[in-house]
Amino acid sequence: MKRIYLIRHGETESNRKGIFRGRLDIPLSQNGREQAADLRRYFDNIPVDVVYTSPLQRAVETAETVFPGHTPVKEKWLNNLDLGEWSGMEKSLVKERFPQMWEDWVKRPESIRFPGGERLLDVLKRASLFFEKVAFGEAETVAAVSHRSVLKVLIAFCMGMEKNYYWRFHLDNASVSLLILDRKRFTLVKLNDTHHLKQTVMEWY
């Protein structure tokens, strides 16, 4: 039986300011570093065999803080959703410049391709490859530090959710979700656990 901890990276200034990040390589904010320290205490008594992380620095910094006894494996399949032209834009500006696509993002995000970027289906394809690697690997307890979009897609994939899933659950910065893989079946036993955090920013859309 495998245990897979899915961890969203700590907060950045862009999270607080309502700016789309995508693959911009931005650092944790001061609060994000404090969240990572809170996460470290969360895992003090939880032994982990291997730690994977998105290659972006906000995820790497989180992983290195939370698991000081490990060298995190930078995994390209955990990289964030490529938002193309939306990367670095304030959400209010995106809504003004791309009104129809913004409406699709809010109502049916699984259907769109971001201008110059990816679709959620592209994330699903690589995320499923990552899970194949984990499922057939020797490690019994795995931690993966990644981004909201990637983790949502991973959870939906494991739950067999194919359509209209993206806004059906919420993941905060520095949250912990837990999947158990037993007899080739995934069971979600924790979702968006934030009890270890002093403060969170509820980020919508």
Q: pLDDT tens across 13-28, in order?
A: 999 999 999 999 999 9
Q: How far apart are CA 105 and CA 58, in angstroms?
A: 24
The yes-or-no verdict on residue 134 having pLDDT over 90 is no
Q: Is residue 52 part of a domain?
A: yes
- Please give the average per-residue pLDDT across 182-201, as a whole number: 92
Asked if the structure places residue 92 within a domain, the reply is no
Query: Is the per-residue pLDDT at 131 higher than 90?
Result: no
Sign, CA torsion 36/39/45/51: negative
Does residue 176 form part of some domain? Answer: yes
Residue 205 resides in a domain: no
pLDDT at res. 200: 83
Does a structural domain hold residue 14?
yes
Q: Is residue 42 part of a domain?
A: yes
What span, in angstroms and rounded, lies between the C-alpha atoms of 194 and 198? 9
The pTM of the full predicted model, rounded to 2 decimals, is 0.96
CA–CA distance, 117 with 122 (Å, rounded to integer): 10
Question: Beta strand pairing status for 141-146 and 185-193?
Answer: unpaired
Q: Is 104 within the bounds of a domain?
A: no
Q: What is the DSSP letter of 110?
A: G
- Long-range pairs for 92-100: beta carbons < 8 A, 24 or more residues apart: 92/18, 94/20
| Model pLDDT for residues 50-85, shown as the tens digit of each residue | 999 999 999 999 999 999 999 999 999 999 999 999
Q: What is the pLDDT of residue 132?
A: 87
CATH of the domain at 68: 3.40.50.1240
Domain hosting 58: range is: 2-82+121-193
Task: Give the pLDDT of residue 37.
Answer: 97
The tally of domains found in the chain comes to: 1
162 is a domain residue: yes
For the segment 191-205, the average pLDDT, to the nearest whole number, is 91
| Beta pairing partners, 53 | 74, 145
Q: Are 156 and 167 in contact (CB under 8 A)?
A: no
